[in-house]
Amino acid sequence: MIISGLLLAFFVSFLIHIFALVTYVTKKSNRSLKTYILTTFTNITIAGACIVLIFMKPEMAKTVDLKFLTWIMSGIILVITIVIKIGVFRRIYRRIKDPSNYHVNFFGKKVLHASVVSRLEIAVFFGTMPFFLMAGAYFVARGVNFFLYKHL
């Protein structure tokens, strides 16, 4: 159980690490650089703790329930991708409501400008789609399997 908790903490820390790296590359903020460095040390510490525990007690590695662990990880990925997609939709919706991003044509219909959606938002939306579909399908399939047959 301890190894499973450490592996799950390592996974979450690694996701935060990737997010901090992407944020630093896109925004060049000092805060994201500090988060990136902090998660680097956190990842090294958690990985070191896993290695030490497995070397000291190898039977702990045998007790790790990988199906449950991958199910939880796929659920985390699913939630993160849903949050990303909702954020993109909210930003686009706010821009759609702003009168500076559209004009009314001759027939009285609202015509949106191309500035409503940026290329980065389109790339993020479609770039997260495979992760959303694969992690979501795995999470839902294992969840249904658990509720129907009482095992993952």
The helix or strand, by DSSP H or E, that contains position 46, with its residue range, turns out to be helix 30-56
User: Alpha helices, DSSP H only, in 63-118?
Assistant: 66-97
For 125, counting Cβ atoms within 10 Å of its Cβ (0-12 exposed, 13-18 middle, 19+ buried), the class is middle
CB-facing half-sphere around the CA of 87: CA atoms within 13 A = 11
- 19: DSSP letter: H
- Label residue 59 by pLDDT band (50, 70, 90): very high
64 and 3 Cβ atoms separated by less than 8 Å? yes
What predicted TM-score, i.e. pTM, was given to this entire model?
Answer: 0.85
The pLDDT tens digits of the residues spanning 15-58 come to: 999 999 999 998 889 999 999 999 999 999 999 999 999 999 99
- 106: DSSP letter: T
pLDDT of 150 reads 87
pLDDT of 105 reads 87
Q: What average pLDDT does the structure give for the chain?
A: 93
pLDDT of 66 reads 92
Cβ contacts of 114-122, under 8 Å, gap ≥ 24: 116/92, 117/92, 121/88, 121/91, 121/92
pLDDT of 98 reads 87
Largest Cα–Cα separation, the chain:
77
